[in-house]
Amino acid sequence: MNKIIDYKLIFLFFLAFMFIVGPSTAQEGKVMYGNTPDSIFPYGKFQKAYKYHFVEPIEFHGAGREKKAPNDLTEVRLGFLGPLENSELVPLGKQMLNGATLAIEEANKLGGYNGLPYKLMVHNDVGLWGAAANEVIKMDDEKVWAWLGSIDDIVSHVALRATLKCEILMVCTGDPDPTFTETNIPWGIRVISDDRQSGYALAYHIFQHEGHKRLAVIRANNRYGRVGVMEFNGVATRLGHPVRMEERFEVGETDFNMQLANIKKANPDAILIWGNATESALVLNQLREMGMEQPVFASDRVVSDEFLKIAGDKAQGIVTTCQYNPGADNPILNAFQENYKKRFGMEADVFAVHAYDGMNLMIKAIEEVGLNRVLIRDVLTDLKTFQNYKGASGEIIFDASWNDIGKIFMAKYSDGEFQFFPAELMKERGHSTRMAGY
């Protein structure tokens, strides 16, 4: 009898031990490479970086804050750089110019800056790297206090380097290249969501919400297509659905039969087009004419009259993203849309509304700190004064690289117009505290 009790006690003791220690320590214990102790592990004492780029703002400790504003000014000059001539992006550039102009005119009606009128110094970019730098130098010669632009990726990148040398703040309201703010140049901010935000939202919608698994991509063979799709491809792979094939076309191309024949042969269950409005519409038309009935998704440049004019009824059902909600119940947006149409005789697009917000930020910064380039930079990058700024495009939220990470929206063309709704990914993103790479 006593032996039976002893066996029970031993058994109970064994169960308690297993419960406290866990199911296995041999496989889950920490094993260091080469059986190297923690105290002498190579680089073990240098794991924490001195500076975490993109999650901590880069500082600017240069001179210039002590400079007084000239006392002989007759106007306050602000710069503009955008595609206005000799570029396929001219329709976008003109909308951007209109938005900036409207903000200037409204500020002048309110008295300008201490009675001095604001004046927009307009410059054209033609998509050439060197030309963009030259235009920034001209703006420096014109004594602008800050400037707004542009849309083309390579133009914006080169202009950012030039503006660093001239020490003039650049407010980008049209270039969606995610690498723009990753240059860590403390003289540029972006007031529009980038293609990383769009790519995340679009991939989540295609694979998680719609349930597609075999996607083919056809994109512009330029930096806009390459960088935009790069971000999309990355998240598609992380969601478990790597893109099955990727075809390319040149800007200005009109015959896509070869690329679409390859896609048709692969028989994907959905297709993504990434390019400017004109080529995207032509691709859509040709793939429908070839009998391809798969759901089609596209980059945000299809939200335009230019796309709809060419695509016609074939635009039905296409889904994309948009950096704001044109139908939002936002009094600032409603007033902007009404005044814009009255002033320019057309509907405002995404480039107009973000240029309006970007120019208003520049004007409010001047009203806050006066006419000093460094102080204007300081107040627009302090992540306090204008954080959560309520603009016509919605709430503007800057991350530590001064990239606008505000809300992104989905847009579906149905019954003759785009219907806008929040991206499904927004709730998940809003609660995440993870930092990529750290």
Does 340 map to a domain? yes
Task: Tell me the residue range of the domain where 212 lies.
Answer: 196-322
Could you tell me the strand order of the sheet in which 296-298 lies? Answer: 245-249, 215-220, 270-274, 296-298, 319-322, 409-414, 417-422
Q: Please provide the DSSP assignment of 324-370 as one string.
A: S-TT---HHHHHHHHHHHHHHSS---HHHHHHHHHHHHHHHHHHHH-
Do residues 183 and 97 both lie within one domain?
Answer: yes
**303-316 average pLDDT score:** 97
CATH number at residue 250: 3.40.50.2300
pLDDT at 436: 52
Does 297 map to a domain? yes
Q: Is the pLDDT at 275 greater than 70, yes or no? A: yes
Residues above pLDDT 70, as percent of the chain = 89
pLDDT at 438: 47
Do residues 295 and 356 both lie within one domain?
Answer: no
Q: Is the pLDDT at 249 greater than 70, yes or no? A: yes
Q: Is the pLDDT at 244 greater than 70, yes or no? A: yes
Does 32 map to a domain? no
Chain centroid offset of residue 86 CA: 25
Does 117 map to a domain? yes
- Summarised one tens digit per residue, pLDDT across range 164-182 is 999 999 999 999 999 999 9
Does 156 map to a domain? yes
pLDDT at 129: 73
394: Cβ contacts below 8 Å, ≥ 6 apart: 324, 325, 328, 330, 333, 406, 407
Domain end (from 322, 347, 375)? 322
| Residues 263 and 272 sit within 8 Å (Cβ to Cβ) | no
Do residues 272 and 297 both lie within one domain?
Answer: yes
Do residues 101 and 187 both lie within one domain?
Answer: yes
Among the residue ranges 25-29, 85-89, 398-402, the one predicted with the least confidence is 25-29
Q: Which burial class, exposed, middle or buried, applies to 107 when counting CB atoms under 10 A from its CB (0-12, 13-18, 19+)?
A: buried
Name the pLDDT band for 24 (thresholds 50, 70, 90): very low
Q: Is the pLDDT at 14 greater than 60, yes or no? A: no
Domain end (from 288, 322, 356)? 322
Do residues 308 and 343 both lie within one domain?
Answer: no
Counting the structural domains of the chain, the total is: 2
- Summarised one tens digit per residue, pLDDT across range 116-143 is 999 999 999 977 778 899 999 999 999 9
pLDDT at 2: 52
Do residues 229 and 245 both lie within one domain?
Answer: yes
Name the pLDDT band for 5 (thresholds 50, 70, 90): low
pLDDT at 237: 95
Q: Is the pLDDT at 26 greater than 50, yes or no? A: no
pLDDT at 28: 55
Do residues 202 and 136 both lie within one domain?
Answer: no
Does 418 map to a domain? no
Top-confidence residue, 212 or 436: 212
CA distance 319 to 302: 9
pLDDT at 10: 59
Angstrom CA distances, 374 to 147, 265, 275, 296, 379, stand at 13, 57, 37, 47, 9
Reported as type and span, the H/E element at residue 271 is strand 270-274
Question: Which tokens belong to 23?
Answer: 């199911």
Q: What angle do CA 351, 357, 363 make, to 5 degrees?
A: 130
Sign of CA dihedral 247, 250, 252, 255: negative
| Residues 299 and 277 sit within 8 Å (Cβ to Cβ) | no
Do residues 291 and 370 both lie within one domain?
Answer: no
CA distance 114 to 76: 10
Q: Is the pLDDT at 23 greater than 80, yes or no? A: no
**8-31 average pLDDT score:** 54
Among the residue ranges 15-29, 323-337, 400-414, the one predicted with the least confidence is 15-29
CA distance 191 to 359: 10
pLDDT at 370: 98
Mapped onto helix, strand or coil, the DSSP state of residue 24 is coil
Q: Is the pLDDT at 97 greater than 50, yes or no? A: yes
pLDDT at 49: 72
Do residues 172 and 136 both lie within one domain?
Answer: yes
Does 31 map to a domain? no
The pTM for the full model equals: 0.88
Among the residue ranges 325-329, 392-396, 421-425, the one predicted with the least confidence is 421-425
Among the residue ranges 33-42, 218-227, 233-242, 303-312, the one predicted with the least confidence is 33-42
Name the pLDDT band for 56 (thresholds 50, 70, 90): confident
**326-335 average pLDDT score:** 97
Domain end (from 322, 353, 376)? 322
Kind of pairing between the strands at 118-124 and 76-82: parallel
CA distance 174 to 80: 12
CA distance 177 to 157: 9
pLDDT at 16: 55
- Summarised one tens digit per residue, pLDDT across range 370-400 is 999 999 999 999 999 999 999 999 999 999 9
- Summarised one tens digit per residue, pLDDT across range 197-226 is 999 999 999 999 999 999 999 999 999 999
Do residues 159 and 206 both lie within one domain?
Answer: no
Do residues 273 and 189 both lie within one domain?
Answer: no
Kind of pairing between the strands at 409-414 and 417-422: antiparallel
Does 347 map to a domain? yes
Do residues 125 and 99 both lie within one domain?
Answer: yes
Q: Please provide the DSSP assignment of 157-191 as one string.
A: HHHHHHHHHHT-EEEESS---TTSGGG--TTEEE-
